[in-house]
């Protein structure tokens, strides 16, 4: 194998890996549409990032998709999480942590860890802007 072929191979493997991961994240994100406790948008953001590393064509497809594109574009362009998504995330996370807190016997340290982690995530989400800033 000559040096040029070696360089091509080193770049082809990560691109194929990123491309495969992007599709995996798309599938998980789509499943999240139907499962209320599985978030969709974070997986779409991961897919967009992986596509940006592997396929300009599919990255553009995702950004232009009528359903998936707007939240991804909002985040990439302005760091925006729309209020409707914040509310949905809050409700889903509250329901997700209530089950183990109330119905399952879990050690106290695990309950506190869950509450602290959820509080950190919710703080991050609610401190993001709801819409792009006016220039």
Does the pLDDT at position 98 exceed 90? no
Q: What is the pLDDT of residues 110-129, one digit of tens each?
A: 889 988 998 999 999 999 99
Does the pLDDT at position 93 exceed 70? yes
The whole-angstrom separation of Cα 41 and Cα 47 is: 10
Q: Do residues 7 and 32 both lie within one domain? A: yes
pTM score above 0.85: no
Q: Do residues 91 and 71 both lie within one domain? A: no
* Predicted local confidence at residue 35, as pLDDT: 78
Q: Do residues 98 and 65 both lie within one domain? A: no
Q: Do residues 71 and 123 both lie within one domain? A: no
Residue written as token pair 């329901």:
95
Q: What is the pLDDT of residues 43-91, one digit of tens each?
A: 999 999 999 999 999 999 999 999 999 999 999 889 999 898 899 888 8
Q: Which domain holds residue 126?
A: 80-135
Q: Do residues 34 and 61 both lie within one domain? A: yes
Binned at pLDDT 50, 70 and 90, residue 105 comes out as confident
Can you tell me whether residue 39 is helix, strand or coil?
A: coil
Q: Do residues 3 and 68 both lie within one domain? A: yes
């Amino acid at each position: 194998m000559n040096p040029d072929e070696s360089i091509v191979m080193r770049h082809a493997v990560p691109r194929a890996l990123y491309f495969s991961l992007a599709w995996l994240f798309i599938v998980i994100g789509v499943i999240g549409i139907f499962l209320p406790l599985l978030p969709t948008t974070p997986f779409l953001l991961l897919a967009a990032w992986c596509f940006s590393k592997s396929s300009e064509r599919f990255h553009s497809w995702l950004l232009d998709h009528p359903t998936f594109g707007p939240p991804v574009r909002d985040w990439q362009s302005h760091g925006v999480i729309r209020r409707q998504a914040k509310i949905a995330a809050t409700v889903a996370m509250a329901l997700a942590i209530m089950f183990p807190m109330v119905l399952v016997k879990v050690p106290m340290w695990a309950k506190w860890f869950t509450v602290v982690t959820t509080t950190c995530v919710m703080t991050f989400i609610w401190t993001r802007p709801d819409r792009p800033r006016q220039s």
